[in-house]
Structure 1
Amino acid sequence: MVLVSVTRLHLVSPRYFPGFLWHTALSSWQIVNIPGFLGGQLIGDKQAGAWTVTLWKDESAMRQYRNSGAHRQAMRYLPRWCDEAAVVHWQQEDTTLPEASEAYRRMVSEGHFTKVLQPSDNQQKRQIPEPASPKGVPLHPRKKSKGTASQYDTPTLDLHD
Structure 2
Amino acid sequence: MGLKAAGALRILGQRPPRPQAPAGHDGRGVAILQPILGGDPLLAQVLQHNLQALPSAHFHWLLDEADAIGRATADVLCATHPGHKITRLIYPAAPEGTNPKTFKLDAVLPQVREPVLLVLDDDARLSAAALAQLVDELGAADADLVTAL
Task: Give the TM-score normalised by structure 1.
Answer: 0.32
Larger radius of gyration: 2
From the two aligned structures, give the one with the greater helix fraction. Answer: 2
From the two aligned structures, give the one with the greater strand fraction. Answer: 1
